[in-house]
Structure 1
Amino acid sequence: MKVIVLGGGLMGTAAAFFLAKRGLRPTLIERNRVGTGATVASFGNIRRTGRYLPQLPLAHRARALWGEAERLLGRDVEFRATGHIRLIFDEGSLADMRAFAEAARPWGLDLDELAPNEIHARFPGLGPGAIAASFSPEDGSGNPRLIAPAFAAAARALGAEIVEEAGAAQIERTGSGFRVVTAGGAYEADIVLNAAGAWGRQIAAQFGEPVPLESRGPQMGVTEPLPHRVLPVVGVWSRDPAWGGYLRQVERGNIVFGGAAVRTEVALDPGHAKADPARLPGQIRALARLLPALADVAVIRTWSGCEGYVEDDLPIMGASATTPGLFHAFGFCGHGFQLGPGVGDAMAELIATGGCATPLEDFRIDRFASAA
Structure 2
Amino acid sequence: MRFPISEASPVRFGGEAPKACDVVVLGGGVIGVMTAWFLAEKGLRVTLCEKGRIAGEQSSRNWGWIRQQGRDMGELPIMMESMRIWKSLAQEFGERLGFRQEGVLYLAKTEREMAGFEAWLSEARAFGVDSHMVTSGAVAERLKGSVKGWTGGLLTPSDARGEPWAAVPTLVEGAIARGAVVLENCAVRRLDRQGGRVTGVFTEKGRIGCDQVVVAGGAWSSLFLRAEGVAIPQLAVLASVAATEPMAEVFAGNACDDDFAFRRRQDGGYSIAPGSGHDFFVGPDAFRNIGVYLPVLKKDFRSTAFKAMAPAGYPDAWGTKRRWGGDEVSPFEGVRVLNPAPNMERIGRVQAAMASAFPGLGRPKLRAAWAGMIDTMPDVVPVVDRVAAVPGLVVATGMSGHGFGIGPGMGRVVADLVAGDAVGHDLARFRLSRFSDGSRLVPGPSL
Shift of residue 321, structure 1, vs aligned partner: 2.5
1:263 aligns with 2:275: no
- Deviation string, structure 1 residues 162-181 (Cα, Å, up to 9, x no partner): 01111352222135733222
Q: Any conservation in 2 of the 1:97–1:134 contact (CA below 8 Å)?
A: yes
Q: Match of 1:65, SS?
A: helix
In structure 2, the partner of 1:346 is 413
Q: Match of 1:348, SS?
A: helix
User: Higher mean Cα deviation, 160-169 or 343-352?
Assistant: 160-169
Where structure 1 has 5 or more consecutive residues not aligned to the other structure, the ranges are: 237-242
Counterpart mapping for 1:268-347 below 5 A: 268=315, 270=335, 271-288=338-355, 291-293=358-360, 295-347=362-414
Distance 2:356 2:85 in 1: 33
Going from structure 1 to structure 2, the CA distance change for 1:356 and 1:125 (only over 3 Å counts) comes to: same
Counterpart code for 1:261: G
Counterpart code for 2:363: D
- Deviation string, structure 1 residues 182-233 (Cα, Å, up to 9, x no partner): 2222211111011111111123223432111112221101111112342111
Going from structure 1 to structure 2, the CA distance change for 1:183 and 1:49 (only over 3 Å counts) comes to: same
Q: Any conservation in 2 of the 1:229–1:253 contact (CA below 8 Å)?
A: no
Q: Match of 1:329, SS?
A: strand
Moved over 6 A (4+): none
Distance 2:200 2:28 in 1: 18
Aligned mate of 2:241, from 213, 217, 220: 220
1:108 aligns with 2:124: no
> What is the RMSD computed on CA atoms of the aligned residues?
2.1
Q: Match of 1:43, SS?
A: coil
Distance 1:76 1:280 in 2: 27
Q: Match of 1:247, SS?
A: strand
Counterpart code for 2:272: F
1:43 aligns with 2:63: yes
Q: Any conservation in 2 of the 1:32–1:166 contact (CA below 8 Å)?
A: yes
Distance 2:85 2:381 in 1: 21
- Deviation string, structure 1 residues 56-111 (Cα, Å, up to 9, x no partner): 11111111111111235577311110111111111111111111111211133232
Q: Any conservation in 2 of the 1:87–1:127 contact (CA below 8 Å)?
A: no
Counterpart mapping for 1:87-236 below 5 A: 87-126=107-146, 128-167=148-187, 169-174=189-194, 177-236=198-257
Distance 1:287 1:140 in 2: 21
Please report the TM-score for the alignment, with normalisation by the length of structure 2: 0.77
Q: Any conservation in 1 of the 2:260–2:272 contact (CA below 8 Å)?
A: yes
Distance 1:287 1:335 in 2: 24
Instruction: Name the count of aligned residue pairs.
Output: 366
Counterpart code for 1:332: M
**Percent identity of paired positions between Structure 1 and Structure 2:** 27
Q: Match of 1:338, SS?
A: helix
User: Higher mean Cα deviation, 42-51 or 102-111?
Assistant: 102-111
Counterpart code for 2:82: A
